[in-house]
Amino acid sequence: MLRIALVSLGILLASCSNEEQPSTVTGANGSAIGEIPLALDPVLDTPVRGIMVGYLNQIETDYDALASELNNFENRVGEFLDDPQTSTMNAMRSGWLNAHSSYELTTLHRYFADLILTEEDSLALYQLQYQMNHWPILPGYVDYVAGYADSGIVNDINVSLDIPTLQQQHGAFDLAEASLGFHVLEFLVWGENLNRQSERPASDYFVITELNSAEIEGGMELEQLSNNRRRQMLVLNTQSLIADFNKSREIWSLGSENLRTNLTDMNSTEIVIVLLEAMTGMLTEEMLVRSLYPLLNGEYGESIQSPYSSSTQNAVSAQLSSVERLLLETTTDGGGSLDTVLVALSNDFEEFFYQNFDASKECLVLLYSTLEIPEDTNVTAEAEFETVECINLLTNMIDNIEQIKITLSNPI
> Which domains are present in the chain?
2-409 (1.20.1420.20)
pTM assigned to the model: 0.89
Distance of CA 233 to the CA centre of its chain: 22
Q: Where does 141-297 have alpha helices with state H?
A: 163-169, 182-190, 213-217, 226-261, 268-282, 293-296
Q: Return d(Cα 93, Cα 100) in angstroms, integer.
A: 11
Specify the higher pLDDT residue, 20 or 145.
Answer: 145
Q: Return d(Cα 27, Cα 30) in angstroms, integer.
A: 6
Are 92 and 80 in contact by the 8 Å Cβ rule? The answer is: yes
Q: Return d(Cα 218, Cα 222) in angstroms, integer.
A: 12
Residue 131 neighbours by CB under 8 Å, 6+ apart: 167, 170, 180, 181, 240, 244
How many CB atoms within 10 Å of residue 150? 10
Residue 405 neighbours by CB under 8 Å, 6+ apart: 20, 21, 22, 273, 276, 277, 280
Q: Return d(Cα 133, Cα 302) in angstroms, integer.
A: 14
Band of residue 33 on the pLDDT scale cut at 50, 70, 90: very low
Nearest one of 390, 401, 198, 375 to 313, comparing CA atoms: 390
pLDDT per residue over 340-398, tens digit each? 999 888 888 888 899 999 999 999 999 999 887 665 556 678 888 999 999 999 999 99
* Beta-sheet strands, E only, within 76-202: none
pLDDT at 19: 37
Weakest mean pLDDT among 20-24, 219-223, 236-240, 341-345: 20-24
Are 34 and 273 in contact by the 8 Å Cβ rule? The answer is: no
How many CB atoms within 10 Å of residue 140? 16
Residue 208 neighbours by CB under 8 Å, 6+ apart: 222, 225, 227, 228
Specify the higher pLDDT residue, 27 or 194.
Answer: 194
Nearest one of 264, 311, 354, 301 to 101, comparing CA atoms: 311
Are 232 and 61 in contact by the 8 Å Cβ rule? The answer is: no
pLDDT at 374: 60
